[in-house]
Amino acid sequence: MRTLNVWNNAAVALICAVMMVFIISCYAGSRADHFNRLASNAESQAERVVASLGLKPGDTVADIGSGGGYFTVLMARAVGPKGTVYAVDIDAALLKHVDDLAKKEGFSNVTTVRATESGTGIPGRCVDMVFMRNVFHDLKGDSAYFIRLRSVLKAGGRVAVIDYRPETLLKRLFGHFIDEAEIVSLMKSAGYGVAERHTYLEEQSFNIFVPAAAGTGSGYL
């Protein structure tokens, strides 16, 4: 009887574990789909954003905070089969979704990278463009992160930062915003200057930074 109870308990534990894995995978999938729906809506102007990055065939891009992978795939198309896009995220389930999406779309030039809170996990001096969309507000105040980030850039490498402005009421309620001047100030303290500023996104700021020695050094503000 005791043996039977042990087996029953083991069976229940196994069923619970399987159900938990299923729930987590469904949750990650629904989050990824949600992120991709937002990224693909008209307000995001995804195609125009990627065109503004000035990517060339053969470039290497780091999509930090890749989420559901919508922009990852667009950039993979832009850099072509000889280029590479690193999809970087701290969430392994989201990275699995990005990997599956890239394979489904026929892109073999996407590599997923599990990041930590303090680092990207990307090899040094290998990236032409770092792309950060709606991620910076989670890192605000951490100039050390962006100082370290310089080590992954090739000579002439750039960092594109897109994030919600505080004028957006819904984003203010959930804290998903950062003032553009704060972005520029933090990046300046980390040794970057503004190379390009794009103003066509209604709810977001969009700046491309370069290490200060290669740029203006002071930004536009």
Do the domain assignments include residue 12?
no
pLDDT of res. 122: 94
Residue 17: inside a domain: no
Q: How many domains does the chain have?
A: 1
pTM attached to this predicted model: 0.81
- For residue 83, being part of any structural domain is answered with yes
135, part of any domain:
yes
- Is there a domain that residue 221 lies in? no
Strand pairing partners for 208?
A: 160, 196
Range of the domain at 108: 36-214
The verdict on residue 78 lying in a domain is: yes
What's the pLDDT at 16? 41
Indicate whether 11 belongs to any domain. Answer: no
Which CATH number covers residue 126? 3.40.50.150
pLDDT for res 193 = 97
**Per residue of the chain (221 residues), what is the pLDDT tens digit?**
555 454 455 444 444 443 343 334 444 458 889 889 989 999 999 999 999 999 999 999 999 999 999 999 999 999 999 999 999 999 999 999 999 999 999 999 999 999 987 789 999 999 999 999 999 998 877 899 999 999 999 999 999 999 999 876 555 555 578 999 999 999 999 999 999 999 999 999 999 999 987 544 433 33
Q: Does residue 3 sit within a domain?
A: no
> 142-148: long-range contacts (C-beta < 8 A, 24 or more apart)?
143/186, 143/189, 143/190, 144/190, 145/118, 146/186, 146/187, 146/190, 146/191, 146/192, 147/190, 147/191, 148/118, 148/119
Question: According to the model, what pLDDT value does residue 173 have?
Answer: 55
User: What pLDDT, on the 0 to 100 scale, is given for residue 168?
Assistant: 62
